[in-house]
Chain A
Amino acid sequence: KAGVTQTPRYLIKTRGQQVTLSCSPISGHRSVSWYQQTPGQGLQFLFEYFSETQRNKGNFPGRFSGRQFSNSRSEMNVSTLELGDSALYLCASSRTPQETQYFGPGTRLLVL
């Protein structure tokens, strides 16, 4: 069974631009969560989606948004990028929100 895939793996943007990251969950998984990892800060929760509905949202500004499609694939968007948005963005999927999450390899975003 294929794991969670994330595209692109690496991305360089400049301040003020916007970016869209994509996540394809494990087949049969309907729950997708997004996290931001920065050095020394662990994994900060961004959003959680289940069956196309956002169940939870973390404490991030409105520049961060996301969605989930009917095939469970998910995207997150960051508008008006800031230097502090440079991070590893991780996507995790699970069959349901209460089950174990499995992570993708992440997208490393560098904002210059």
Chain B
Amino acid sequence: DQQVKQNSPSLSVQEGRISILNCDYTNSMFDYFLWYKKYPAEGPTFLISISSIKDKNEDGRFTVFLNKSAKHLSLHIVPSQPGDSAVYFCAARDSGNTPLVFGKGTRLSVIA
């Protein structure tokens, strides 16, 4: 049973445009969400997070939106740059003792 789902395995976007990566979750107890970026042969790098008490968090070109009623979050990258080409993982956890749960990732390709 996959609690965190990233339904798009891949996404291609032109340089300068907006990239939107989506993530759905099924566990209503999740209250903290994170996005990580992963380049080949490297470990994931933390990008941005959001708590369930907020519906938006922004950090430079990256914005995460959370829709609790739809159990959906999205990561917006504006403007997209070729260096953003990587695999993006969505992760979630609850406030209890359970570990972080990851989606399977979305491969973003930003085309110059």
Q: Which residues of A contact B (CB under 8 A)?
A: 4, 6, 33, 35, 40-43, 45, 48, 55-56, 58, 90, 92, 97-98, 100-106, 108
Contact = CB atoms under 8 A, between A and B. Distances in A.
A90 B44 contact: yes
A43 B43 contact: no
Contacts of B41: 105, 108
Q: Interface residue tally of chain B, by bracket?
A: 20 to 34
A103 B36 CA distance: 10
Mostly, the B contact residues are loop
Nearest to A3: B43
Contacts of A106: 42-43
B86 interface: no
A42 B7 CA distance: 12
A94 B97 CA distance: 15
Nearest to B43: A103
Given A41-B104, A42-B102, A90-B44, A56 B89 contact: no
